[in-house]
Amino acid sequence: RCAKAGIDSVLIADVPTNESAEFVAAAKKFGVHPIFIAPPTASDETLQEVAKLGGGYTYLLSRAGVTGAETKANMPVGDMLAKLTQFNAPPA
């Protein structure tokens, strides 16, 4: 249904990479990119998994906490972007 409606990607919040096999398989089966969140506290191992499993784009969080509660990034966004680029995270 997603592809028929023109939806090309789906992000399911709080799906960790180590529990994502069913999500990734279903997304690929129906021609939809699985989107993963790259949290600011992620290890290099987690960022590599996000890069490997994701498609379309990568949702980068610039700070930990509730969305909309703060307006400034409190993490080194440039460092995160460099790592995601190094790991060929989407869009590559």
- pLDDT tens readout for residues 19-28: 999 999 999 9
The ranges assigned to domains in the chain are 9-86
d(CA 2, CA 79): 34
Tokens encoding 56: 């379309």
Contact 34, 20 (CB under 8 A): yes
3-state secondary structure 12-27: CCCCCHHHCHHHHHHH
For residue 41, what pLDDT is reported? Answer: 85
The model's pLDDT over 2-46, given as tens digits with 9 standing for 90+, comes to 778 889 999 988 899 999 999 999 999 989 999 999 988 889 999
d(CA 50, CA 72): 24
Tell me the pTM: 0.81
> Is the pLDDT score of 47 beyond 60?
yes
